[in-house]
Structure 1
Amino acid sequence: MNKLIEKPYLIFLLAIPVIMLIGILSGDAVLDINVHDTYYLIAWNQLTLMSSIIFGIIGIGYWIMQKGNRKLSKSLNWIHIGLTFGGILILLILNQLYRIEIMNLEYNINLTLIITLIVLLMIVGQIIFPINIIYGLIKKKNKTSG
């Protein structure tokens, strides 16, 4: 786990093939988002492609900071990784809890509220990434032995 915090780019870059595999296996599946009377449809393969690009940018950002011998905050790394991958895991679990029967409308509304709050928390977690990069650029360089 310590290697994960020292090299956070590994988890982001290794997640890209997994995300792309999910996109390929999803076929023609569509994510539909209902906002009042409007439905927004996003194809899963487009969503996974967009997620892979974002993970690639984040992974390359962490990698450049390490190669530039800049020290990032370990606590900000933990928060960013935890909110990103923990949020994804929680969303996948909560998505399976939706009920189809019309009698469970109140339950689904509450579940939708929880999912929305988790997505907002994940977005806040992504704001931590540039803050950590700026912190690493401002802080003095790592002292290397030799």
Structure 2
Amino acid sequence: MNSIKEKAHLVFWILGILLIALQVLFTVVYPQAILDLNIHDTYIIIACAHLFNVLGTWFILCGVGYWILKLRMIEIFGWMFWLHLIFTVLFPLSFATTNMDIKPTMENFRMIQYIESLWFFGLILFVVGQGLYFLNIFISTLKRVKSR
């Protein structure tokens, strides 16, 4: 468990590269795949390829942040890293594991509401995870500066 915390940057870089590979797959194989959200009479339509591109880039940038801390020999908090990793990975999994090609009929209304709630909950966890990421970097750096 401790070795994964020390290689936090590699974990995020590998996940980022996998997400960008998914972006290429969705661009070439499924160019019409979209994520369609309806939140209180507001429709949000995002191409899945673009979403994977943004998420992959974000994962790589998080890896750069952890890598800079490793270069400066600043030890991160393990529990914050694990929560950040889990909450960040849950967001792409929340829409990747659901069927995005459900026809909006009255019979499917409850299922569509459930899927949109799952996506929204995943988004909330993603935002909380990113807050933990910045908090982990900030507190770890302050702890290192204070110990000097």
The TM-score, its normalising length taken from structure 1, stands at 0.82
TM-superposition CA deviations, 1:22-53 (whole Å, max 9, x none) = 11111223222223444332223322221122
TM-superposition CA deviations, 1:58-115 (whole Å, max 9, x none) = 100000001101111011011111111234334422x238854521312321332233
Q: 2:99 — aligned with what?
A: 96
- Relative to structure 1, the CA distance from residue 2 to residue 75 in structure 2 (aligned partners, 3 Å threshold; closer, same or farther) is same
Q: Which runs of 4+ in 1 moved over 4 A?
A: none
Q: Which runs of 5+ in 1 are unaligned?
A: none
Q: How many Å separate the matches in 2 of 1:10 and 1:26? A: 24
Partner of residue 70 from structure 2, selected from 42, 53, 66 = 66
Q: Which runs of 5+ in 2 are unaligned?
A: none
Percent identity over the alignment? Answer: 26
Check whether the contact 2:88–2:125 (CA below 8 A) recurs between aligned residues.
Answer: no
Q: 2:23 — aligned with what?
A: 23
Check whether the contact 2:76–2:136 (CA below 8 A) recurs between aligned residues.
Answer: yes
1:138 offset after TM fit, Å? Answer: 0.7
- Relative to structure 1, the CA distance from residue 16 to residue 97 in structure 2 (aligned partners, 3 Å threshold; closer, same or farther) is closer
Partner of residue 44 from structure 2, selected from 37, 40, 43 = 40
Superposed CA RMSD: 2.4
1:11 offset after TM fit, Å? Answer: 1.1
| Residue 8 of structure 2 corresponds to residue 8 of structure 1 | yes
| Residue 95 of structure 2 corresponds to residue 86 of structure 1 | no
- Relative to structure 1, the CA distance from residue 42 to residue 88 in structure 2 (aligned partners, 3 Å threshold; closer, same or farther) is closer
AA partner of residue 99 (structure 2): Q
Count of paired positions: 141
The TM-score, its normalising length taken from structure 2, stands at 0.81
Q: How many Å separate the matches in 1 of 2:57 and 2:4? A: 20
